[in-house]
Amino acid sequence: MSRAGNSRHGLLAVLMLCCLALPASKALAAESALHEPSGQEAWIPPAGATFTEYVSRNEERIRAVLAQSYYALNSEPFGPGYPLERVVQMRAPYELLPDPQRCGQGAGQPGAGLGFLLIHGLTDSPYLLRGMSASLTERYPCAIVRGLLLPGHGTQPGDSLEMRHEDWLRVTEFGVDSFRGQVEALYMVGFSTGTSLSVRYVDEHRDDTLVRGLIMLSPALAARSSSAYLAPYLRWFSDWLGAEAEHDAARYESFSVNAGAEFYLLTRELTRAEFEPLPVPVFMAGSGDDTTVNIEAAREFFCSKTPVGPSRMLWYSATATGSDPVASCPGLQVLPAEAPEQRVYSLSHTSISVPPEDPHYGFDGAYSICLHYGDGTPNFNSCVNDDAQTVYGERNLGSEGRFEGKLIRRGSFNPHYAAMFEAIACFIDGAC
């Protein structure tokens, strides 16, 4: 329940200015049991826990919450094709060990001695980086790949009311430590809030030589609004910016005020002038149309806080919106966002990390992001079902006159993923 239910509507206008930007149409929906803490939030591993135990314990909790809160009420809460066990695996942390059929003994094997730690974003789950994991294991079959689940995620949105960024940092440190003695070089791969956790780790462990580089997709280093500092105070008056029906098998669709508050607390130091440049190279890829985070803050960070030479940033710019960076620097490359053959006219925050062939979010995927039209409305239903009348892009694409008569699906895949991954591999291999 809300801490002050009667106060929430009076605060809504202020709240919409804070935290991560949400469309003005996303008013508070009726809350349900899903919007209360489950009591079985993601497991935080104690000292001495193994990564295998971490995966197993979190699978158990996710399975229990999903079974009780979703599948006990509806045999297909996320639609056909999403049985309980599939959704558990989509949301759970994971570990991909070297392929014994492709890896021999000794040096010279592809990926031998390499580790990759993948960290998802706010309200997301490890699934948002599953495509990247598959690409990494295909290119580096002898590497170790691990995906984290951040506390407060993976179960039901009510658990986001109690999550704390300090716990995210604890799990990030656990993830890095799990590679010690197993690999010679570790790359941290973050999506959205996962990028800020990677930066925080490197900043707080500058003498740690295990981490050799950061791969930052849709980098979230600052909120879009200058009023974001209010979020830690506003969460005591209201719980939700948007308490939505939950249709997405991979992530939460609801967004709590607490989630935005903890994001602000995590990132508030990262864009200050006195922040010391990172000691490791960085690869960034982001959309100039990103409506979720401050992409210009990410550009400024790249240009002033990363090593010149090995670092690289891909900035996807859409012709329809003119989303070029305000300035440039060595290593920053502006690329076209459009892919008309896949009806893509800009890239969204949520699209960067996902390949077009993804069975859930891809071009022919089962799930379309249309909640900005309002759950169950005629436009929502048409957006979900009518391919001929929909285009993909960030939420601001709908303001462009050239798309009059079209509906906008928020971008959920990156049509340029293959080229982006080649650039990432070049960065890892030091061959650029």
pLDDT, tens only, 218-262: 999 998 877 778 889 999 999 998 899 899 999 999 999 999 999
For residue 364, pLDDT over 50 is answered with yes
Beta bridge pairs of residue 94: 147
Q: Which residues contact 204 (CB under 8 A, 6 or more apart)?
A: none
pTM metric for this prediction: 0.92
Phi, psi of 32 (to 5 degrees): -135, -175
Residue 404, pLDDT score: 78
pLDDT score recorded for residue 107: 54
**CA atoms of 333 and 407, how far apart (whole Å):** 30
Handedness of CA 71, 77, 80, 86 (dihedral sign): negative
Which 3 state secondary structure label does DSSP give 116?
strand
- 101 vs 64, higher pLDDT: 64
Apex CA 170: angle with CA 166 and CA 174, to 5°? 170
298, burial (CB in 10 Å: exposed 0-12, middle 13-18, buried 19+): buried
The answer to whether 336 touches 317, Cβ cutoff 8 Å, is: yes
Listed in sequence order, the DSSP H helices in 110-213 are 130-139, 165-177, 193-204
pLDDT digits (tens, 9 = 90+) for 294-339: 999 999 999 999 999 999 999 999 999 999 999 999 999 999 999 9
Query: Does position 69 have pLDDT exceeding 50, yes or no?
Result: yes
Q: Which residues contact 68 (CB under 8 A, 6 or more apart)?
A: none
d(CA 288, CA 402): 19
Burial 243-276 (b: 16+ CB within 10 A, else e): bbebbbbbbbbbbbbbbbbbbbbbbeebbeeeee
pLDDT at 264: 96
Give the pLDDT mean for 96-105. 85
In this model, does residue 20 exceed pLDDT 60? no
Q: Answer yes or no: are the C-beta atoms of 400 and 391 closer than 8 Å.
A: no
| Whole-number Å distance between alpha carbons of 287 and 298 | 11
Residue 31: what pLDDT? Answer: 53
Mean pLDDT within 167-187: 98
146 half-sphere exposure, CB direction, 13 A CA radius: 27
Name the 3-class secondary structure at 237.
coil
Domains and CATH numbers, the chain: 1-280 (3.40.50)
* Spatial contact of 315 and 288, defined as CB atoms under 8 Å apart: yes
Could you tell me the sign of the dihedral formed by the alpha carbons of 209, 43, 52, 46, in that order? positive
Instruction: Please give the angle made by the CA atoms of 240, 242 and 248, to the nearest 5 degrees.
Output: 120
Alpha carbon distance 282, 329 (integer Å): 14
Cα Rg for the chain, rounded, in angstroms?
21
- Tell me: pLDDT of 114 over 80: yes
